[in-house]
Structure 1
Amino acid sequence: MKWSSVLEPIKAWIKTVPLQFVYVLSAYLGESVSYDVPSSGPKSPLASHNPSFYPGIDIPSKGLVRWQLRLEYFAYETLQVLRIGKLFEIIVDYPDSCPAIDDLKQCLKYTGQHSKLVESFISSIRYRLLTAGASTNDILHQYVSTIKALRMIDPTGVFCEAVGEPIREYLKGRKDTRKCIVTMLTDGTGGNPIGTENTVDSLLEELNRDEENQENDNCEDYFNSDEKQAWINAECWEPYPIETDPLKGSSTRRKTDILGMIVGIIGSKDQLINEYRVMLAEKLLNKSDYYIDSEIRTLELLKFHFGESGANLGEMGMSLDFLDATIISSNFWPPVQEESINLPEPVDQLLSEYAKRFNEIRTPRKLFWKKNLGTVKLELQFGDRATQLIVAPVNAAIIMHFQDQTSWTSKDLAVAVGVPVDALNMRMNFWISKGVITEATVGKADDYTYTLVDMIDSSENGIDNASCEDLRSDEEGETSVASQEQLKKEHAVYENFIMAMLTNLGSMSLDHCYRNLKNLSSYDKSLQELQIFLSVFVSEEKLEFRDGMYYLRR
């Protein structure tokens, strides 16, 4: 929808048509009082306008000015109602709707009915946005647009706090909010496969702007930054709207920080950083090339924005000297997802030989393979056709067992691969969907027989013979880094012990808690795993994290 400013044309029409009629009528009735004689009372803001302000009217009378004020106020009030009624659509179309936002700002300046805007818009977002049918990415995009739009109307941020509160509370209740926010900062797609570029640009744009402002400040180091900011604040000061709730906000409210408000949804910078570390580790481990410029750029911007807290992001153990993502030490990386699988004998023998040679060259270091991680490039041959695929190791291990034996029962194949039967059946759906394996039920409902097809029609199953197809995205639930839910289950037995320690001590640092848990002979988790586990408790509002200390939430 195309938005344009209509306020000035309306005001021009008022002067051209209704006021001309009132002027003629006043002249006919004999009213000709002008402002040539000073008045003891307060003058209208329009009284100082020169005669050219009223086209075709030499000297405006008091009655004419009063009529103009009435008509313009009616126009402001009517346009305000229309713009507030369409405010949701206006913000959806931001920044193309900036002229309409400017109209609304001018209307509110004259009418002072700010509370109507807040009440109406909160009602709209609860009915149209905060619903189960809206994706988290869409809600975040609308939230960022809302902040930017309301910042044009109210630079103090009062409206942003009032309107944004229900959005923030709703997003805190969604499980994927944290992941969506961090994904928008890392992969440039906002977590949406279609690509919601506006959402991503909103966050990275804010980081870039902060960096540019910092560079400009460094170029003007001859001027004291505090004194300079004080002058800027004094020149731009505006009183808060009278509708401001004194219990909310602060007398020292600063300019709205979009990224800061987004981080506020997560809870704290530390929780954002922990989630970002997990996602960055996942991306680096899954990279098949050496292009990490985007990750480095995002990392540096986050470190710049978050200061010392963000500096910990650099401790990922990333060896840039070798132009590759390498785990130098597990102490600097999030816990890796463990999954036991049995690789085919030829492959397992090659890995053992490689590990042996590594030990000979780098004695006393040893190489331990994470067999479930990484990717495998396969070439499947069917008659005169050959197809290359890139799949997960467990899927490669499954299909390689069909080289010597073309038919397997689910139980026998599960034993051969070394995975549970239910996990195997789920994995087999991948090859069945590609037309490589056929499935038949034998006896019980969960007992299947899998058979390798003799021929495969690649055109019908979406497999391209001409190129190597990366099918990792087709495998649902794949992740190299352990999830918070998995860590929570593994730490569940220690939950009461942690709660008891916090009850007795009042507060504990992460290191203190870790040392106490290590005194238990059964505790074998790393410091990073404990940190992620405690961050889950913080997000569930069982614990509080302030100034590097954990507290029980009262």
Structure 2
Amino acid sequence: MNTEQQESYLISSYQLMASSVLLTTLPSHFTKLLQLYFKHKLEELNTIVDGDSEDGCDSLHNERILKYDKLDEMNIDESNYDSVLTKNNCLVKSIGRVVLDLRNIGFKAITEDAYAFSIFQHLKGKVESLAGDDYRTPVLESIKRWIQAVPLRFLHDLLSYLGDLYSYGNILSSFKSPLASSPLSYPGIDAPSEGLVRWQLRLEYFAYETLQDLRISKLFEIIVDYPDSSPAIQDLKQCLEHTGQHSKLVDSFISSLQHRLLTAGASTNDILHQYVSTIKSLRMIDQTGVFLEAVGEPIREYLRGRKDTIKCIVTMLTDGSGGNASAAGNIGDSLLEELNRDTENQEAADNNEDINADDKQAWINAQRWDPDPVEADPLRGSRCRGKIDILEMLVSIIGSKDQLVNEYRVMLAEKLLNKSDYDIDSEIRTLELLKIHFGESSMQRCEIMLNDLIGSKRINGNIKASKLQSLIGTEQGQAMTLNHLDATIISSNFWPTIQEESLHLPSSVEQVLSDYAEKFHEIKTPRKLLWKKNLGIVKLELQFDDRSVEFSVTPIHATIIMQFQDKTSWTSKSLAAAVGIPVDILSKRMSFWISKGVIFESGQAESSDHVFTLVDDITDSNRNGIAHETDGMDEEGERTVSSVEEELQKEMTVYKKFIEGMLTNFGSMTLDRIHNTLKIFCVADPTYDKSLQQLQSFLAVLIEEEKLEMRDGQYLLKKRAT
């Protein structure tokens, strides 16, 4: 070993010993002090770069534009540009001297860790300040520009001052981030070093991860604000493409759903609207639907346990207010119309892709193919999964499209029977859309119901246009004529079961109905009308001493009040006998007129026979001139037609003896076994064609009736006490 080598060895040994001694004697808070120092310097640098700009990254990002693009502006901006660079260089030099001094005493690792920690903390604060709670503005590109303008520029100048920069030539000049889809760019830096490239990868990944975590933690609010929050969803999509942490999104969002949405306090409508928004939002992030399946399953499972789910889905699909009011589209459009537009647009896009595709593009697509993630359902391929639409996912909650169609048929019947005119344009449009998705055969009964309304309008016009009706009204001097009657004539075999209620109509009304039926028989021989007297809408005018008030009520309400034309006071029993309804039903119906101040009720509370008296002068609270009251149309949730559940119970009653016989022979059976056995043995009329969910609902009714009981997932006959 020569003299120079010995000298170098001694110096390095001395430095190692000195740094070891210093490290052992350092105060515990020294690292924290270093971090605070670099944090303060970075904030100072950020202030210099920001200047008067609110964006905080335009100054250095556009330095080439300022200096070279516009010669006529160069003299104006040159002084400000030089001032920024001078301040920046002075600041970097002061930091560089501190770093060099710390390196010389052997604190290189501590120093690099300190300024790295400060840079990442500063970046985290910048991401949080830019992101905030505003989901309507994209922030990812602004963050990436700020990274280039402040941290990367600082690191470039610092490494250059420390002598750590070196050009890596042609080999590393094509270096590309494995986390980015576009080549790296460095405004104002012609030849970035390998160290600077690695710093950019680290900073960008940290920014992706930080912004991703912020957006995932607020994903519930973001989806509530959809589609206004689409920019935030796009940012989240880009972050996940770089981090690949989709499972974090799934776990976090499911937890938010279970604590904030899937609770007894949330209405079924709110849950369904959030579910639809979730589908639309997550399809922007993952078009294959893999993670949507995982997130949507808890919602679907919860909704299956709610009794009004089917009704709410049908209402949301068909009602003009059922879709997302803030979504793009026409005001009053139903969700079904919105989905149909989306389907048409998607099909048009797919057709364009098929037309423009060639062998080269097909090869490119094949190279881009990725296998399904581990979260994917192995029974569903990615091709099949990509074709899932929102309507199919809503139907999957119910179990089958037949249940949805049946519920729609009941709701359509209810709506048509309560119409005061023959305007069914919106119903026809909805039916045509449903036929596209469910087929014409499934919607045949609904189509017949609408045709009944069209036929009723035509027949009604023919009857009123006849000369007979004017003769009848003139000769008999009736207070009512056929001009006062609009009839809805239905084909009862194709309509849901209609709730009937006994009713004695006034003689004048009975005469008009008889005349109408007679004229109908002449036009449509041999068909005859069978009136459902409790259905329909009656528009009547009540005249008081000082004014008249109009009401739109049910036939029962109209019949009750018309009894007071000839007699102003009735006991409840005599009035019930005159109207032809039970006393308890009369009391419920009479509450409507009492609430409007038209009828006054008197009598002892313990007495069952109350006295109802017509009020001569309507109360001030009801002095509104003409009041079209619809409150009496459907009191206390009463329906015009039987519900789907009631229809199902009637249809399933046929299989009751089969079920009891099977349980008598086999003792106990699971739901699946009962279902499969019924499908095997009930092949003749009536054929068993019910779903598993429908059978389960019927068995639940039998349990409530104490016909059956359930133990350990097995159904068995209820033992009667001896």
- TM-score (norm: length of structure 1): 0.82
Give a deviation string over 1:267-307, Cα, whole Å, max 9, x none.
Answer: 11111111111222222222222321111111111111223
Check conservation: 2:135, 2:222, Cα contact below 8 A.
Answer: no
Q: Does 1:239 find its partner at 2:370?
A: yes
Q: Tell me the secondary structure at the aligned position of residue 385 of structure 2.
A: coil
CA distance in 2, matches of 1:473, 1:464: 20
Check conservation: 2:318, 2:336, Cα contact below 8 A.
Answer: no
Find the counterpart in structure 2 of residue 540 from structure 1: 697
Find the counterpart in structure 2 of residue 526 from structure 1: none
Q: Does 1:258 find its partner at 2:418?
A: no
Q: Does 1:20 find its partner at 2:153?
A: yes
CA distance in 2, matches of 1:432, 1:8: 66
The amino acid of 1:138's aligned partner reads: D
Q: Tell me the secondary structure at the aligned position of residue 507 of structure 1.
A: helix
- The counterpart of 1:271, out of the listed 386, 393, 403, is 403
CA distance in 1, matches of 2:687, 2:181: 77
- The counterpart of 2:554, out of the listed 355, 373, 392, is 392
Check conservation: 2:424, 2:450, Cα contact below 8 A.
Answer: no
Say if 1:111 and 1:468 are closer, same or farther in 2 by CA, change over 3 A. Answer: closer
CA distance in 1, matches of 2:692, 2:182: 63
Structure 2 unmatched ranges of 5 or more:
1-133, 459-486, 663-673, 701-713, 716-722
Q: Does 1:339 find its partner at 2:471?
A: no
Q: Tell me the secondary structure at the aligned position of residue 449 of structure 2.
A: coil
Deviation of 1:541 (Å): 7.9
Of the structure 1 ranges 398-407 and 495-504, higher mean CA displacement relative to structure 2 is found in 495-504
Find the counterpart in structure 1 of residue 267 from structure 2: 135
- The counterpart of 1:33, out of the listed 166, 191, 194, is 166
Find the counterpart in structure 2 of residue 514 from structure 1: 686
Deviation of 1:370 (Å): 0.3
Q: Does 1:434 find its partner at 2:596?
A: yes
Find the counterpart in structure 2 of residue 117 from structure 1: 249
Q: Does 1:3 find its partner at 2:136?
A: yes
How many residues end up aligned between the 2 structures?
Answer: 523
CA distance in 2, matches of 1:232, 1:134: 49
CA distance in 2, matches of 1:15, 1:226: 38
Of the structure 1 ranges 317-326 and 82-91, higher mean CA displacement relative to structure 2 is found in 317-326
Matches within 5 A, 1:391-410: 391-410=553-572
The amino acid of 2:492's aligned partner reads: S
Q: Of Structure 1 and Structure 2, which has the larger fraction of its residues in helix?
A: 2
CA distance in 2, matches of 1:417, 1:535: 45
Q: Does 1:379 find its partner at 2:541?
A: yes
Give a deviation string over 1:85-107, Cα, whole Å, max 9, x none.
Answer: 11011101111111100111111
- The counterpart of 2:611, out of the listed 441, 449, 460, is 449
CA distance in 2, matches of 1:418, 1:150: 58
CA distance in 2, matches of 1:238, 1:74: 27
Check conservation: 2:311, 2:407, Cα contact below 8 A.
Answer: yes
Q: Tell me the secondary structure at the aligned position of residue 408 of structure 1.
A: strand
Structure 1 unmatched ranges of 5 or more:
517-530, 544-552
Find the counterpart in structure 1 of residue 220 from structure 2: 88
Give a deviation string over 1:106-156, Cα, whole Å, max 9, x none.
Answer: 111111111110011011111111122222111111111100100000000
- The counterpart of 1:76, out of the listed 189, 205, 208, is 208
Say if 1:245 and 1:33 are closer, same or farther in 2 by CA, change over 3 A. Answer: same
The amino acid of 2:405's aligned partner reads: I
Deviation of 1:172 (Å): 1.2
Find the counterpart in structure 2 of residue 163 from structure 1: 295
Of the structure 1 ranges 11-20 and 408-417, higher mean CA displacement relative to structure 2 is found in 408-417
The amino acid of 2:144's aligned partner reads: K
Check conservation: 1:101, 1:153, Cα contact below 8 A.
Answer: yes
CA distance in 2, matches of 1:307, 1:490: 26
Q: Tell me the secondary structure at the aligned position of residue 497 of structure 1.
A: helix
Check conservation: 1:395, 1:427, Cα contact below 8 A.
Answer: yes
Find the counterpart in structure 1 of residue 339 from structure 2: 206
Say if 1:430 and 1:467 are closer, same or farther in 2 by CA, change over 3 A. Answer: closer
Say if 1:471 and 1:237 are closer, same or farther in 2 by CA, change over 3 A. Answer: farther
CA distance in 2, matches of 1:271, 1:18: 60
Find the counterpart in structure 1 of residue 322 from structure 2: 190
Say if 1:443 and 1:129 are closer, same or farther in 2 by CA, change over 3 A. Answer: closer
Deviation of 1:357 (Å): 4.7
CA distance in 2, matches of 1:27, 1:87: 42
CA distance in 2, matches of 1:295, 1:47: 51
Find the counterpart in structure 1 of residue 625 from structure 2: 465
CA distance in 2, matches of 1:417, 1:133: 42
CA distance in 1, matches of 2:162, 2:425: 78
Find the counterpart in structure 2 of residue 412 from structure 1: 574
Of the structure 1 ranges 120-129 and 412-421, higher mean CA displacement relative to structure 2 is found in 412-421
Q: Rg larger in 1 or in 2?
A: 2
Deviation of 1:351 (Å): 2.4
Deviation of 1:429 (Å): 1.4
Over the residues paired in the alignment, what is the CA RMSD in angstroms?
4.1
Check conservation: 2:322, 2:334, Cα contact below 8 A.
Answer: no
- TM-score (norm: length of structure 2): 0.64
Find the counterpart in structure 2 of residue 482 from structure 1: 642
CA distance in 2, matches of 1:79, 1:217: 33
Check conservation: 1:83, 1:104, Cα contact below 8 A.
Answer: yes
Of the structure 1 ranges 101-110 and 235-244, higher mean CA displacement relative to structure 2 is found in 235-244
Give a deviation string over 1:177-207, Cα, whole Å, max 9, x none.
Answer: 11111122333133999x9999964432112
Say if 1:412 and 1:147 are closer, same or farther in 2 by CA, change over 3 A. Answer: same
The amino acid of 2:201's aligned partner reads: L
Deviation of 1:240 (Å): 5.0
Deviation of 1:504 (Å): 9.4
Say if 1:200 and 1:265 are closer, same or farther in 2 by CA, change over 3 A. Answer: farther
The amino acid of 2:624's aligned partner reads: D
CA distance in 1, matches of 2:179, 2:393: 41
The amino acid of 1:381's aligned partner reads: Q
Deviation of 1:510 (Å): 9.4
Q: Does 1:146 find its partner at 2:278?
A: yes
CA distance in 1, matches of 2:652, 2:283: 44
Give a deviation string over 1:348-405, Cα, whole Å, max 9, x none.
Answer: 2432344345445544332211001111111111113111111100111111122222
The amino acid of 1:347's aligned partner reads: V
Deviation of 1:451 (Å): 1.9
Say if 1:110 and 1:282 are closer, same or farther in 2 by CA, change over 3 A. Answer: same
Q: Tell me the secondary structure at the aligned position of residue 514 of structure 1.
A: coil
Of the structure 1 ranges 274-283 and 347-356, higher mean CA displacement relative to structure 2 is found in 347-356
The amino acid of 1:379's aligned partner reads: E
CA distance in 2, matches of 1:150, 1:425: 53
Deviation of 1:38 (Å): 2.5
Say if 1:238 and 1:515 are closer, same or farther in 2 by CA, change over 3 A. Answer: closer
- The counterpart of 1:298, out of the listed 425, 430, 446, is 430
CA distance in 1, matches of 2:523, 2:682: 38
Say if 1:113 and 1:515 are closer, same or farther in 2 by CA, change over 3 A. Answer: closer
Q: Tell me the secondary structure at the aligned position of residue 387 of structure 2.
A: coil
CA distance in 2, matches of 1:211, 1:49: 33
Deviation of 1:477 (Å): 2.5
CA distance in 1, matches of 2:568, 2:159: 101
